[in-house]
Homo-oligomer: A and B are copies of this chain.
Amino acid sequence: MTIVDSADELGRRDRKKLETRAALEHAALTLVAERGLAAVTVEDIAEAVDVSSRTFFNYFPSKEDALIGPGPASAAELRAKLEAVPAEVPVLEALRLITRSELERVQERPEQWMLRLRVYEQNPSLLPKLVSSGSEAEQVVMAAVARRCGVEPGTTGYPELATGAALVAVRVAMTRWSAAGGRLALTDLADEAFAQLAAGLPNP
Protein backbone atom coordinates (compact mmCIF):
# COMPACT_ATOMS: atom_id res chain seq x y z
CA MET A 1 0.00 0.00 0.00
CA THR A 2 1.76 3.08 -1.23
CA ILE A 3 1.45 6.32 0.63
CA VAL A 4 0.66 8.29 -2.52
CA ASP A 5 -2.18 6.80 -4.48
CA SER A 6 -2.01 6.90 -8.22
CA ALA A 7 -4.12 9.66 -9.64
CA ASP A 8 -6.88 7.38 -10.91
CA GLU A 9 -7.21 5.39 -7.73
CA LEU A 10 -10.56 6.64 -6.62
CA GLY A 11 -13.24 5.32 -4.37
CA ARG A 12 -16.26 3.57 -5.77
CA ARG A 13 -18.25 6.76 -5.49
CA ASP A 14 -16.02 8.91 -7.67
CA ARG A 15 -15.49 6.10 -10.11
CA LYS A 16 -19.23 5.86 -10.61
CA LYS A 17 -19.48 9.60 -11.06
CA LEU A 18 -16.89 9.58 -13.81
CA GLU A 19 -18.66 6.65 -15.42
CA THR A 20 -21.98 8.40 -15.37
CA ARG A 21 -20.53 11.59 -16.77
CA ALA A 22 -18.79 9.73 -19.56
CA ALA A 23 -21.94 7.76 -20.33
CA LEU A 24 -24.00 10.94 -20.51
CA GLU A 25 -21.46 12.57 -22.81
CA HIS A 26 -21.36 9.54 -25.02
CA ALA A 27 -25.12 9.17 -25.20
CA ALA A 28 -25.51 12.86 -25.97
CA LEU A 29 -22.95 12.73 -28.76
CA THR A 30 -24.26 9.62 -30.46
CA LEU A 31 -27.90 10.63 -30.20
CA VAL A 32 -27.25 14.11 -31.57
CA ALA A 33 -25.07 12.67 -34.32
CA GLU A 34 -27.96 10.44 -35.34
CA ARG A 35 -30.91 12.78 -35.03
CA GLY A 36 -29.60 16.33 -34.80
CA LEU A 37 -29.49 18.66 -31.84
CA ALA A 38 -33.10 19.79 -31.93
CA ALA A 39 -34.50 16.26 -32.12
CA VAL A 40 -32.80 15.09 -28.94
CA THR A 41 -34.19 16.09 -25.57
CA VAL A 42 -32.43 15.95 -22.25
CA GLU A 43 -34.88 13.26 -21.27
CA ASP A 44 -33.76 11.13 -24.20
CA ILE A 45 -30.15 11.38 -23.10
CA ALA A 46 -30.95 10.65 -19.47
CA GLU A 47 -33.10 7.70 -20.42
CA ALA A 48 -30.35 6.22 -22.58
CA VAL A 49 -28.12 6.18 -19.50
CA ASP A 50 -30.99 5.22 -17.21
CA VAL A 51 -30.84 8.14 -14.86
CA SER A 52 -33.38 10.83 -14.16
CA SER A 53 -33.26 14.01 -16.21
CA ARG A 54 -32.68 15.86 -13.00
CA THR A 55 -29.45 13.95 -12.64
CA PHE A 56 -28.38 15.08 -16.07
CA PHE A 57 -28.55 18.64 -14.86
CA ASN A 58 -26.46 17.72 -11.84
CA TYR A 59 -23.67 16.92 -14.28
CA PHE A 60 -24.16 19.51 -17.01
CA PRO A 61 -25.73 22.94 -16.81
CA SER A 62 -27.28 22.58 -20.26
CA LYS A 63 -27.81 20.13 -23.06
CA GLU A 64 -25.08 21.78 -25.10
CA ASP A 65 -22.54 21.45 -22.35
CA ALA A 66 -22.74 17.68 -22.56
CA LEU A 67 -21.49 17.94 -26.14
CA ILE A 68 -18.67 20.40 -25.64
CA GLY A 69 -16.22 18.07 -24.04
CA PRO A 70 -13.41 18.85 -21.68
CA GLY A 71 -12.08 22.31 -22.30
CA PRO A 72 -8.51 23.22 -21.58
CA ALA A 73 -7.04 21.42 -18.59
CA SER A 74 -7.45 24.31 -16.21
CA ALA A 75 -6.99 28.02 -16.42
CA ALA A 76 -4.26 27.97 -13.79
CA GLU A 77 -2.39 25.24 -15.64
CA LEU A 78 -2.54 27.16 -18.88
CA ARG A 79 -1.19 30.21 -17.19
CA ALA A 80 1.65 28.28 -15.63
CA LYS A 81 2.56 26.69 -18.94
CA LEU A 82 2.63 30.03 -20.68
CA GLU A 83 4.80 31.54 -18.00
CA ALA A 84 7.19 28.62 -18.26
CA VAL A 85 8.06 29.56 -21.82
CA PRO A 86 11.22 31.71 -21.90
CA ALA A 87 10.60 35.39 -22.43
CA GLU A 88 12.69 35.51 -25.60
CA VAL A 89 10.23 33.27 -27.40
CA PRO A 90 7.80 35.37 -29.44
CA VAL A 91 4.24 35.45 -28.16
CA LEU A 92 2.75 33.64 -31.10
CA GLU A 93 5.27 30.86 -30.79
CA ALA A 94 4.55 30.60 -27.07
CA LEU A 95 0.85 30.31 -27.82
CA ARG A 96 1.59 27.60 -30.35
CA LEU A 97 3.52 25.64 -27.75
CA ILE A 98 0.84 25.72 -25.08
CA THR A 99 -1.94 24.82 -27.50
CA ARG A 100 0.13 21.92 -28.74
CA SER A 101 -0.22 19.93 -25.55
CA GLU A 102 -3.96 20.52 -25.54
CA LEU A 103 -4.18 19.28 -29.10
CA GLU A 104 -2.12 16.23 -28.28
CA ARG A 105 -4.74 15.29 -25.74
CA VAL A 106 -7.38 15.66 -28.41
CA GLN A 107 -5.39 13.52 -30.78
CA GLU A 108 -5.26 10.71 -28.24
CA ARG A 109 -9.00 10.11 -28.46
CA PRO A 110 -9.58 10.32 -32.20
CA GLU A 111 -12.95 8.56 -32.44
CA GLN A 112 -14.48 10.57 -29.64
CA TRP A 113 -13.25 13.88 -30.97
CA MET A 114 -14.07 13.21 -34.58
CA LEU A 115 -17.58 12.33 -33.51
CA ARG A 116 -17.72 15.52 -31.52
CA LEU A 117 -16.43 17.58 -34.41
CA ARG A 118 -18.91 16.00 -36.79
CA VAL A 119 -21.66 17.00 -34.39
CA TYR A 120 -20.32 20.53 -34.41
CA GLU A 121 -20.29 20.69 -38.20
CA GLN A 122 -23.85 19.49 -38.41
CA ASN A 123 -25.08 21.84 -35.69
CA PRO A 124 -23.43 25.18 -36.38
CA SER A 125 -25.13 26.78 -33.42
CA LEU A 126 -22.53 24.95 -31.34
CA LEU A 127 -19.56 26.27 -33.31
CA PRO A 128 -19.05 29.42 -31.27
CA LYS A 129 -18.52 27.18 -28.27
CA LEU A 130 -15.86 25.01 -29.89
CA VAL A 131 -13.22 27.42 -28.71
CA SER A 132 -15.45 29.69 -26.76
CA SER A 133 -14.40 33.29 -26.78
CA GLY A 134 -14.99 34.98 -23.49
CA SER A 135 -14.29 31.80 -21.59
CA GLU A 136 -12.29 31.89 -18.42
CA ALA A 137 -9.44 30.12 -20.17
CA GLU A 138 -9.23 32.78 -22.84
CA GLN A 139 -9.27 35.53 -20.25
CA VAL A 140 -6.45 33.95 -18.31
CA VAL A 141 -4.30 33.36 -21.37
CA MET A 142 -4.95 36.90 -22.56
CA ALA A 143 -3.88 38.33 -19.22
CA ALA A 144 -0.72 36.24 -19.27
CA VAL A 145 0.07 37.44 -22.79
CA ALA A 146 -0.38 41.01 -21.65
CA ARG A 147 2.03 40.47 -18.79
CA ARG A 148 4.54 38.82 -21.07
CA CYS A 149 4.47 41.83 -23.38
CA GLY A 150 4.57 44.34 -20.57
CA VAL A 151 1.34 45.89 -21.82
CA GLU A 152 -1.64 46.98 -19.83
CA PRO A 153 -4.53 44.74 -20.87
CA GLY A 154 -7.15 46.64 -22.78
CA THR A 155 -4.91 49.43 -24.02
CA THR A 156 -3.19 48.17 -27.15
CA GLY A 157 -5.46 45.30 -28.08
CA TYR A 158 -2.42 43.18 -28.86
CA PRO A 159 -3.04 40.50 -26.23
CA GLU A 160 -6.67 40.16 -27.28
CA LEU A 161 -5.72 39.97 -30.92
CA ALA A 162 -2.93 37.44 -30.48
CA THR A 163 -5.01 35.23 -28.20
CA GLY A 164 -8.03 35.42 -30.46
CA ALA A 165 -5.96 34.63 -33.52
CA ALA A 166 -4.43 31.63 -31.77
CA LEU A 167 -7.89 30.31 -30.96
CA VAL A 168 -8.90 30.70 -34.57
CA ALA A 169 -5.82 28.74 -35.59
CA VAL A 170 -6.80 25.96 -33.22
CA ARG A 171 -10.35 25.94 -34.49
CA VAL A 172 -9.24 25.78 -38.11
CA ALA A 173 -6.80 23.00 -37.36
CA MET A 174 -9.46 20.93 -35.64
CA THR A 175 -11.95 21.45 -38.42
CA ARG A 176 -9.42 20.42 -41.06
CA TRP A 177 -8.40 17.42 -38.97
CA SER A 178 -11.99 16.33 -38.80
CA ALA A 179 -12.50 16.90 -42.51
CA ALA A 180 -9.41 14.87 -43.31
CA GLY A 181 -10.77 11.98 -41.26
CA GLY A 182 -7.74 12.09 -38.99
CA ARG A 183 -5.34 11.19 -41.79
CA LEU A 184 -3.26 14.25 -41.00
CA ALA A 185 -1.65 14.99 -37.65
CA LEU A 186 -3.62 17.56 -35.74
CA THR A 187 -0.47 19.15 -34.39
CA ASP A 188 0.94 19.53 -37.91
CA LEU A 189 -2.22 21.27 -39.03
CA ALA A 190 -2.00 23.61 -36.07
CA ASP A 191 1.67 24.33 -36.79
CA GLU A 192 0.73 25.20 -40.33
CA ALA A 193 -1.97 27.59 -39.20
CA PHE A 194 0.33 29.29 -36.72
CA ALA A 195 2.98 29.61 -39.41
CA GLN A 196 0.51 31.37 -41.68
CA LEU A 197 -0.39 33.73 -38.86
CA ALA A 198 3.24 34.47 -38.13
CA ALA A 199 3.84 35.17 -41.80
CA GLY A 200 1.06 37.75 -41.80
CA LEU A 201 -1.47 35.67 -43.72
CA PRO A 202 0.09 36.28 -47.13
CA ASN A 203 -1.93 35.28 -50.15
CA PRO A 204 -1.32 31.60 -50.79
Contact = CB atoms under 8 A, between A and B. Distances in A.
A75 interface: no
B203 A157 contact: no
A90 interface: yes
A20 B161 CA distance: 37
A133 interface: yes
A6 interface: no
Count identical subunits in the complex. 2
A201 B204 contact: no
B203 A200 contact: no
Interface magnitude class on chain A: 35 or more
A128 B199 CA distance: 27
Interface stretch (A11-19, A107-115, A167-175): A167-175
Given A125-B134, A134-B128, A201-B92, A161 B157 contact: no
Given A128-B132, A172-B164, A201 B198 contact: yes
15 contacts: A91-B203, A127-B134, A149-B203, A157-B173, A157-B175, A157-B189, A157-B196, A158-B204, A160-B168, A160-B175, A161-B169, A161-B201, A165-B201, A197-B197, A197-B201
Given A92-B200, A149-B204, 11 more contacts: A124-B134, A127-B134, A128-B129, A157-B189, A157-B196, A158-B196, A160-B171, A160-B172, A161-B168, A161-B172, A165-B197
